[in-house]
Chains A and B, each alone.
Chain A
């Protein structure tokens, strides 16, 4: 069917292990990702949207992406270079 798709802006934060992609317009500030992140790298900003507050500790475990009900946060793992 005919669909007028809407482009939602994305904020991409680079990590040692990969990239965190956040869609602020989709985030409803429910805090699930913040609570479930094992490394506490996420927090709600003053805009009540999720932000990465200390990026280096991200272990790219996908828990935030898996528990986001609004399709607002995604992890993109970097290919491990064969050492």
Chain B
């Protein structure tokens, strides 16, 4: 199979994305071939770039798991915290430095299982954090165990007979907790993914984006979808928009990925409230 001739003349081009990466001897990065995390990462970088958010104002924090390795590669202040605890640590950063753009990324297990309590309270407080949950339906880093979002009857190393749990819904949980912005998208739809990240970054308060992503090496192989294209096509096939979902009953929706913006409302961000409280207290004296 003849490949095209590389163009002769010198043509200097540096991909914008590369300028945001710490491209040292740790590249190529750690994620498996075909993993969806890199797609989210690129979308996040595009969003940060298009919003002209200064690099030295960015803090990217994460807990533990595949997704959590993302901060290590971003050339800004980065915070690789403990499993499930990124939101609590990021809350401390945001209150110490309200001027910073604080973003937390994490997997479904990190954010909704061990981190669930911090997820609920970060959303309830509407602390100024953009929280991106990369949902690949399992604990991939540790080899493919079931997570709170693993769909019913699908397989994981700790659900060898298929899961009997109903999966958690990060978006409803965030909405119920009071988050200002809640949306779900997938790594298949890059344009929507980038748009939601950009929108979230320009809002105030707690902003959640759930990104359903393919994990071919682990979750895919455990569920008879070993090739890269299998899972991303499965995701595309199970995606329905919010508008379409409104016309579907519970049974039809059972295994569907409903994408769209669920919540988008104005709130006073927590550190702004605290700044107001300080002013009130200091003026009263």
Do residues A71 and B42 form an inter-chain contact, with CB atoms below 8 A? yes
- Tell yes or no: A81 within 8 A of B by CB: no
Do residues B42 and A3 form an inter-chain contact, with CB atoms below 8 A? no
- In the complex, the chain A residue whose C-beta lies closest to that of B227 is A31
Do residues B3 and A45 form an inter-chain contact, with CB atoms below 8 A? yes
A6 to B37, CA, bound (A): 22
Do residues A30 and B34 form an inter-chain contact, with CB atoms below 8 A? yes
* A25 and B2 contact, Cβ closer than 8 Å, known pairs A32-B34, A66-B190: no
> B238: shortest Cβ distance to chain A, in Å?
17
* A3 and B24 contact, Cβ closer than 8 Å, known pairs A55-B4, A67-B39, A70-B29: yes
How many residues of chain A have a CB within 8 Å of chain B?
Answer: 36
> A3: shortest Cβ distance to chain B, in Å?
6
A69 to B190, CA, bound (A): 11
- Tell yes or no: B31 within 8 A of A by CB: yes
- The prevalent SS among residues of A at the interface is loop
Cβ < 8 Å to B, chain A residues 1-33: 3-6, 8, 10-14, 19, 21, 25-26, 28-32
A32 to B14, CA, bound (A): 22
| Contacting residue for A12 out of B6, B25, B29, B190, CB 8 A | B6
| Contacting residue for B28 out of A11, A26, A32, CB 8 A | A26
Do residues A53 and B11 form an inter-chain contact, with CB atoms below 8 A? no
A and B contact pairs by CB, cutoff 8 A, 28 listed:
A4-B25, A5-B23, A6-B24, A13-B5, A13-B6, A28-B28, A28-B32, A30-B33, A30-B216, A30-B228, A31-B227, A32-B34, A35-B228, A43-B1, A53-B1, A53-B3, A67-B39, A68-B39, A69-B31, A69-B34, A69-B36, A70-B28, A70-B29, A70-B33, A70-B38, A71-B17, A74-B15, A76-B13
B interface residue numbers (CB < 8 A to A):
1-7, 11, 13, 15, 17-18, 21-25, 27-29, 31-39, 41-42, 75, 187, 190-191, 216, 227-229, 232
Closest 9 CB pairs of A and B: A69-B38, A30-B34, A30-B33, A51-B3, A66-B190, A28-B33, A14-B7, A35-B229, A55-B4
